[in-house]
Amino acid sequence: MLHETGALLDPSRLHFIGHVPHQTLHDVLRISACHVYLTVPFVLSWSLLEAMACGALVVASATPPVHEVIRDGLNGRLVPFADPLALARTIAEVLAHPERHQPMRRAARRTVLEHYDLASVCLPQQLALVDRLLAKRRPRTQQPPDHVGPLLFRPPPPRLR
């Protein structure tokens, strides 16, 4: 990045923290003034949800997967994917008026807790899906040939709870 930007950046204002413990990442996200999330139009990563869960104010590229999570002006800010001027204007506005964006930070955290929390939302939905799939399983109608060992056709064990 430094090679590509050259003299455009003031290195005294950059802080490279390198690899840090996960809790430190959370601390950084909580105090950051703006979390810029740029992605290609077909990728949504855990890092966006994690930043939102920490209450970071996210400025993100307006791509289809991001639209599933962020509503512009409600729980974050969206900018056109290939518009660097819109990105710069939005970041400058967010940094100039942090108090205006406090409700968005709280809404971002609420979005993750209500729709993506592992313990209360995602895991129960995944287990329910497995239960539905198991309930629709049809018993075998054909018997294995006599010469095939019975161990190969043992039914799977009941699902652990």
> Residue 157 has what pLDDT?
56
- 142 in a structural domain: no
- 10 in a structural domain: no
- 137 in a structural domain: no
Q: Are strands 77-79 and 35-37 parallel, antiparallel or unpaired?
A: unpaired
> Residue 138 has what pLDDT?
64
pLDDT in tens, 146-156: 655 555 555 55
Single pTM value for the model? 0.75
DSSP calls for 102-155: HHHHHHHHHHHHHHT-IIIIIHHHHHHHHHHHHHTPPPP-SPPPTTS-GGGGPP
Residue 93: pLDDT band (50, 70, 90) is: very high
Residue 161: pLDDT band (50, 70, 90) is: very low
> Residue 19 has what pLDDT?
93
Total domains in the chain come to 1
**Using CA of residue 50, residue 55, residue 58, residue 62, what is the dihedral sign?**
positive
- 149 in a structural domain: no
Average the pLDDT over 15-31 and give the result. 91
- 64 in a structural domain: yes
With CA atoms as reference, report the closest residue to 89 among 78, 100, 99.
78
With CA atoms as reference, report the closest residue to 32 among 101, 117, 78, 115.
101
- CATH code for the domain in which residue 108 is found: 3.40.50.2000
Q: Name the residue type at position 38.
A: L
Q: Which two tokens stand for residue 85?
A: 């001027």
C-alpha 148/C-alpha 156 separation (Å) is: 17
φ/ψ region of 114 (left if φ > 0, alpha if ψ in -120 to 50, else beta) reads alpha
**pLDDT tops 90 at residue 102:** yes
pLDDT in tens, 110-143: 999 999 999 999 999 999 999 889 888 766 666 6
Range of the domain at 105: 18-120
- 7 in a structural domain: no
- 127 in a structural domain: no
**pLDDT tops 50 at residue 109:** yes
pLDDT in tens, 26-78: 999 999 999 999 888 777 889 999 999 999 999 999 999 999 999 999 999 99
- 86 in a structural domain: yes
Q: Cβ–Cβ contacts within 10 Å for residue 15, how many?
A: 6
